[in-house]
Amino acid sequence: MAASSLHCFQLVKFPSGSRPFFPAGSYGGCRIKNKSCHLVFASAKKTDQCLFTDSKVQTLLDSVKWDEKGLAVAIAQNVDTGDILMQGFINRDALATTISSRKATFYSRSRSTLWTKGETSSNFINILDIFIDCDRDSIIYLGKPDGPTCHTGAETCYYTSVFDQLNDQQLQQVEENKLARTTLYSLESTIAQRKAEVAAPRDGKSSWTKRLLVEHNLLCSKIREEADELCRTLEENEDNSRTASEMGDVLYHAMVLLAVKDVKIEDVLEVLRRRFSRSGIEEKRSRKAQG
């Protein structure tokens, strides 16, 4: 079924496997008539043509299990780091607005009105996909933040560890707040701390990470060594635990190099995300053409 009444002026990119919904209105340079939208997916290997009608959006909204006040919980998550950015409440209009604008929008219970994250700070959360849980009463806004999410200036609203506070009950607030990081980002944070210690040395023992941060030739030789050992687990048919161990060594040493170069792992993951729906052969050809 084609939507001949639509005129699109630009390609709209979406991540592979995503299923965005669009209510009647306009988005991404598309002028929508007769409550339908005909989009061209630039990320697809072949041009896909998907039809999104107002009735489909209404069906989606009807399927959500709104509470007695017409609300549901929405959690915003960073698409690259996995960080939980914030949590808020949404109603039908908030979800429909988020779908349409691609900006995380919530419902303020105190003001009884919609509000878009970033409308005053410009720190928008740009939505790439939206997920509904199995009970259909909780939503995840999966997106990329333009800046700090928390009103305190923190990257996320979740930076207070309950266990840290319980372990030091004399303090009402832990002196050094930390983000609710996944393993990879906890490692990056630790490496960043070691780098700061190198820049401003204090009394204390040295560490392997500090040495690698300073001795660049040693660091590069270790990356090559660990990469070779990873490959040998395949060539010599070693067990999977050995492969996981060697990959851990590769990741660790590579992340130290990123720290030396002031490159965030988030930047690397963003590059990978953009390549998801692109042929590896095509991607390499484009790099050669640019070079």
* Contact indicator for 189, 161 with CB cutoff of 8 Å: no
Distances (CA, A) of 205 to 191, 199, 210, 222, 268: 15, 15, 10, 22, 31
CATH 3.40.50.720, domain 182-280, yes or no: no
Residues of the chain within CATH 3.10.20.810 domain(s) are: 64-145
Q: What is the pLDDT along the chain (291 residues), one digit of tens a residue?
A: 333 333 332 333 344 444 444 433 333 333 333 333 333 223 333 333 344 568 888 999 999 999 999 999 999 999 888 889 999 999 999 999 999 999 999 999 999 999 999 999 999 999 999 999 999 999 999 999 999 999 888 888 988 878 877 776 545 444 445 666 678 888 988 999 899 998 877 666 789 999 999 999 999 999 999 999 999 999 999 999 999 999 999 999 999 999 999 999 989 988 988 887 665 556 566 656 665
Q: Which of 74, 179, 57, 158 is nearest to 117 (CA)?
A: 74
The residues near 190 (Cβ < 8 Å, ≥ 6 apart) are 209
Residues of the chain within CATH 1.10.287.1080 domain(s) are: 182-280
What pLDDT is attached to residue 166? 79
Superfamily name with CATH number, domain 64-145: Phosphoribosyl-AMP cyclohydrolase (3.10.20.810)
* Contact indicator for 228, 248 with CB cutoff of 8 Å: no
Q: Which residue has the tokens 């604008």?
A: 101
